[in-house]
Structure 1
Amino acid sequence: MRNIGLHTGVYILGLAMVWLVQIRTFAQRAILTIDVNNKGAKISPSLHGIFFEEISHGGEGGLYAELIQNRGFEESNIPPGCSLDSGWIIPPRIPHFSSNAVSDWKMKWEAIGQWPAWSLQTTGKAKAEVSLSSKQPLHAATPHSLQLDIKAADKAGSVSVVNDGFWGIRVDKGESYNLTYYIRTKKFSGPITASLKADDGRTLASYTFDDAKSSSWKKYTCILKASDSDSNAKFHLTTNSPGTVWIDFVSLFPVKTFKNRPNGMRVDLANYLADLKPSFIRWPGGCFVEGISTESAPNWKRSLGPLTERPGTYSPWGYWSSDGIGYHEFLQFCEDIGADAMYVFNCGVSCEMRAGVYSPDEKIPGIIADILDGIEYAIGPVSSKWGAVRAQNGHPAPFPLKYIEVGNEQVGERYAKRFNIFYKAIKEKYPQLEVMAAMGIAHLHKPTVNAISKMDIADEHAYKGVYWPMIYHDWYDKYERKDWKLYVGEYACNSGVGSGNMMAALNDATFILGMERNADLITMSSYAPLLENINDTDWPVNLIRFDNAKSFARISYYTIKMMNENRASVNLKTDLKLAETEGSKVPLYTGKIGLSTWDTYAEFKDVQVLQNNKLVYTSDFVNHRNEWRTEGGDWKVNDQALAQTTEGAWPMAILSDRSFDIYTLKLKARKTGGPNAFMIPIAIQDNNNYLRAHIGAWWNAVSAFEMVTNGTDAMVTQPVRLENPIETNRWYDIEIRVNHSSIECYLDGKQVMVYKEPRRFFSIAGLDEKTGEIVVKVVNASNEEYTTRIELKGSNPVAIGKTITLSSEKPEDENTMEAPVKYTPIERNFTGYKNDFDYSFQPWSVTILRIKQNP
Structure 2
Amino acid sequence: MNSPQLVPGTKLGAPLNDLFGIFFEDINHAADGGLYAEMVQNRSFEFAPIDNETYQPTTAWKLSDPASLKVTDKDSLNIKNRHYLEVNAQQDVDITNLGFNRGMYIEAGKRYHFSFFVKTLNGRKNVNVHLTDKVGNDVAVPTVISVESHQWLKYTADLDGNQTTTEGRLTLKFEQGTHLLVDMISLFPDDTFNHRPNYVRKDLGETLKALHPKFLRFPGGCLVHDGQLDPDDRGSMYRWKNSIGPVEQRPARRNNWGYNQTLGLGYFEYFELSEDIGAKPLPVLPGGYDPHHDREAPIDQLGEWIDDALDLIEFANGSTATKWGKIRANLGHPKPFNLEYLAIGNEEVGQAFFDRYPYFHKAIKAKYPEIKLINTAGPFAAGKEFDRGWKSAQDNHSDLVDEHYYMDPEWFLANQHRYDSYDPNGPKAFLGEYASKANQWYNAVVEASYMIGLERNADKVGLACYAPLFCNVDYENWGTDLIYFDQKEVSPTVNYFVQQLFMKYQGTDNVYYQLKDLPKAKVVDDQPIVGKFFIQGDKARAKFENIVLDDGHQKQKFGSQTVDHEEKIELGSTDATDYTITFDVTKTDQDSKGTHFCFGQQESDKWFVWILGGWANTDSMVRVHHGKADSDWTQTTWSMAKGRTYHCKLVVDDRRVQTFIDGQLFNDVVIASTVIEPVYTNMTYDRNTKQYYFKVVNVTKQPRAIMVDSDQFSNGSVYQLSGHPDAENKLGTNNQITTNRQPFNGQKLTLPPYSVTVLISPHRLDQTK
Residue 193 of structure 1 contacts residue 206 of structure 1 at CA under 8 Å; is this kept in 2?
no
Residue 520 of structure 2 contacts residue 678 of structure 2 at CA under 8 Å; is this kept in 1?
no
Residue 30 of structure 2 contacts residue 470 of structure 2 at CA under 8 Å; is this kept in 1?
yes
How many angstroms apart in 1 are the aligned matches of 2:659 and 2:57? 57
1:206 Cα deviation from its structure 2 partner:
4.2
* Corresponding position of 1:556: 495
1:33 Cα deviation from its structure 2 partner:
4.9
* Corresponding position of 1:447: 388
How many angstroms apart in 2 are the aligned matches of 1:585 and 1:708? 14
Secondary structure of residue in 1 paired with 2:172 = strand
How many angstroms apart in 2 are the aligned matches of 1:280 and 1:752? 33
How many angstroms apart in 1 are the aligned matches of 2:672 and 2:445? 20
* Corresponding position of 2:28: 56
How many angstroms apart in 2 are the aligned matches of 1:592 and 1:212? 76
One-letter identity of the residue aligned with 1:826: N
Residue 536 of structure 2 contacts residue 596 of structure 2 at CA under 8 Å; is this kept in 1?
yes
1:169 Cα deviation from its structure 2 partner:
0.8
* Corresponding position of 2:641: none
* Corresponding position of 1:115: 58
For 1:693-708, what aligned pairs fall within 5 Å after superposition? 693-695=608-610, 697=612, 704=622, 706-708=624-626
* Corresponding position of 1:316: 256
How many angstroms apart in 1 are the aligned matches of 2:517 and 2:585? 49
Secondary structure of residue in 2 paired with 1:40 = strand
* Corresponding position of 2:663: none
* Corresponding position of 1:386: 324
* Corresponding position of 1:612: none
1:161 Cα deviation from its structure 2 partner:
0.8
How many angstroms apart in 1 are the aligned matches of 2:659 and 2:469? 42
* 1:679 maps onto 2:679 in alignment: no
For 1:536-555, what aligned pairs fall within 5 Å after superposition? 536-555=475-494
1:728 Cα deviation from its structure 2 partner:
7.2
One-letter identity of the residue aligned with 2:240: W
How many angstroms apart in 2 are the aligned matches of 1:730 and 1:781? 44
The 1:571–1:241 alpha-carbon spacing in structure 2 relative to 1, beyond 3 Å, is: same
* 1:276 maps onto 2:248 in alignment: no
One-letter identity of the residue aligned with 1:394: G
* 1:778 maps onto 2:696 in alignment: yes
* Corresponding position of 2:730: 816
Secondary structure of residue in 2 paired with 1:536 = coil
Secondary structure of residue in 2 paired with 1:270 = helix
* Corresponding position of 1:192: 127
The 1:41–1:143 alpha-carbon spacing in structure 2 relative to 1, beyond 3 Å, is: same
Secondary structure of residue in 2 paired with 1:418 = helix
How many angstroms apart in 1 are the aligned matches of 2:295 and 2:106? 43
Q: 29-38 or 354-363: which moved more?
A: 29-38
The 1:152–1:332 alpha-carbon spacing in structure 2 relative to 1, beyond 3 Å, is: same
* 1:766 maps onto 2:766 in alignment: no
The 1:671–1:501 alpha-carbon spacing in structure 2 relative to 1, beyond 3 Å, is: farther
For residues 386-418 of structure 1, the C-alpha deviation after alignment (integer angstroms, 9 at most, x for no partner) is 222222222222123221222222356543443
Q: Which is greater in Rg?
A: 1
1:552 Cα deviation from its structure 2 partner:
0.8
Indicate which of 708, 711, 714 corresponds to 2:630.
Answer: 714
For residues 300-324 of structure 1, the C-alpha deviation after alignment (integer angstroms, 9 at most, x for no partner) is 2222222111112322112222111
Gapped regions of structure 1 (runs ≥ 5) = 1-27, 80-108, 154-158, 610-618, 620-639, 738-742
The 1:824–1:426 alpha-carbon spacing in structure 2 relative to 1, beyond 3 Å, is: farther
1:559 Cα deviation from its structure 2 partner:
0.3
For 1:149-228, what aligned pairs fall within 5 Å after superposition? 149-153=88-92, 159-167=93-101, 168-187=103-122, 190-209=125-144, 211-228=146-163
How many angstroms apart in 1 are the aligned matches of 2:546 and 2:699? 38
One-letter identity of the residue aligned with 2:306: I
* 1:844 maps onto 2:754 in alignment: yes
* Corresponding position of 2:187: 252
Residue-pair matches, total: 726
* Corresponding position of 1:628: none
How many angstroms apart in 1 are the aligned matches of 2:519 and 2:550? 36
Secondary structure of residue in 2 paired with 1:523 = strand
1:464 Cα deviation from its structure 2 partner:
2.1
How many angstroms apart in 2 are the aligned matches of 1:552 and 1:345? 30
* 1:41 maps onto 2:14 in alignment: yes
For residues 630-682 of structure 1, the C-alpha deviation after alignment (integer angstroms, 9 at most, x for no partner) is xxxxxxxxxx9687532233626599xxxx9x999999885664444531463
For residues 142-166 of structure 1, the C-alpha deviation after alignment (integer angstroms, 9 at most, x for no partner) is 111112232223xxxxx21111111
* Corresponding position of 1:66: 38
One-letter identity of the residue aligned with 1:194: V
1:297 Cα deviation from its structure 2 partner:
1.5
Secondary structure of residue in 1 paired with 2:109 = coil
How many angstroms apart in 2 are the aligned matches of 1:415 and 1:592? 41
TM-score by length of 2: 0.84
* Corresponding position of 1:467: 410
Residue 21 of structure 2 contacts residue 503 of structure 2 at CA under 8 Å; is this kept in 1?
no
Q: 514-523 or 191-200: which moved more?
A: 191-200
For residues 544-603 of structure 1, the C-alpha deviation after alignment (integer angstroms, 9 at most, x for no partner) is 11111121111111101101212232232445765479x9999999x9967452335558
The 1:165–1:843 alpha-carbon spacing in structure 2 relative to 1, beyond 3 Å, is: same
How many angstroms apart in 2 are the aligned matches of 1:43 and 1:78? 44
The 1:406–1:790 alpha-carbon spacing in structure 2 relative to 1, beyond 3 Å, is: same
* Corresponding position of 1:331: 271
The 1:209–1:801 alpha-carbon spacing in structure 2 relative to 1, beyond 3 Å, is: same
1:820 Cα deviation from its structure 2 partner:
4.4
1:178 Cα deviation from its structure 2 partner:
0.2
1:212 Cα deviation from its structure 2 partner:
3.3
How many angstroms apart in 1 are the aligned matches of 2:84 and 2:646? 62
1:797 Cα deviation from its structure 2 partner:
6.5
Root-mean-square deviation over aligned CA pairs: 4.0
How many angstroms apart in 1 are the aligned matches of 2:374 and 2:581? 49
For 1:91-110, what aligned pairs fall within 5 Å after superposition? 109-110=52-53
The 1:642–1:664 alpha-carbon spacing in structure 2 relative to 1, beyond 3 Å, is: farther
The structure showing larger relative contact order (alpha-carbon pairs under 8 Å, at least 6 residues apart) is: 1
One-letter identity of the residue aligned with 1:273: L
One-letter identity of the residue aligned with 2:743: N
How many angstroms apart in 1 are the aligned matches of 2:118 and 2:637? 63
Residue 48 of structure 1 contacts residue 564 of structure 1 at CA under 8 Å; is this kept in 2?
yes
* Corresponding position of 1:229: 164
Residue 41 of structure 2 contacts residue 98 of structure 2 at CA under 8 Å; is this kept in 1?
yes
1:840 Cα deviation from its structure 2 partner:
4.2
Indicate which of 464, 471, 481 corresponds to 1:525.
Answer: 464
For 1:398-797, what aligned pairs fall within 5 Å after superposition? 398-411=336-349, 414-443=352-381, 445-451=386-392, 452-494=395-437, 497=438, 500-568=439-507, 569-575=509-515, 579=519, 595-599=534-538, 600-602=542-544, 645-649=562-566, 651=568, 673-674=586-587, 675-680=594-599, 682-685=601-604, 690-695=605-610, 697=612, 704=622, 706-709=624-627, 712-715=628-631, 756-759=673-676, 761-768=678-685, 770=687, 773-785=691-703, 787-790=704-707, 792=709, 795-796=710-711
Residue 558 of structure 1 contacts residue 824 of structure 1 at CA under 8 Å; is this kept in 2?
no
One-letter identity of the residue aligned with 1:162: T
How many angstroms apart in 1 are the aligned matches of 2:219 and 2:669? 41
How many angstroms apart in 1 are the aligned matches of 2:548 and 2:167? 61
The 1:824–1:196 alpha-carbon spacing in structure 2 relative to 1, beyond 3 Å, is: farther
The 1:161–1:764 alpha-carbon spacing in structure 2 relative to 1, beyond 3 Å, is: same
One-letter identity of the residue aligned with 2:378: G
One-letter identity of the residue aligned with 1:386: W
For residues 747-800 of structure 1, the C-alpha deviation after alignment (integer angstroms, 9 at most, x for no partner) is 99xx98556343154422224254665432222222222x344464xx457523
For residues 36-71 of structure 1, the C-alpha deviation after alignment (integer angstroms, 9 at most, x for no partner) is 256432222x11122111111101111110001111
TM-score by length of 1: 0.76
The 1:367–1:736 alpha-carbon spacing in structure 2 relative to 1, beyond 3 Å, is: closer
How many angstroms apart in 2 are the aligned matches of 1:703 and 1:414? 21
Residue 335 of structure 1 contacts residue 400 of structure 1 at CA under 8 Å; is this kept in 2?
no
For residues 299-354 of structure 1, the C-alpha deviation after alignment (integer angstroms, 9 at most, x for no partner) is 2222222211111232211222211112221222222222222222222122x1x1
Residue 549 of structure 2 contacts residue 582 of structure 2 at CA under 8 Å; is this kept in 1?
no
One-letter identity of the residue aligned with 1:64: Y
Residue 703 of structure 1 contacts residue 752 of structure 1 at CA under 8 Å; is this kept in 2?
no
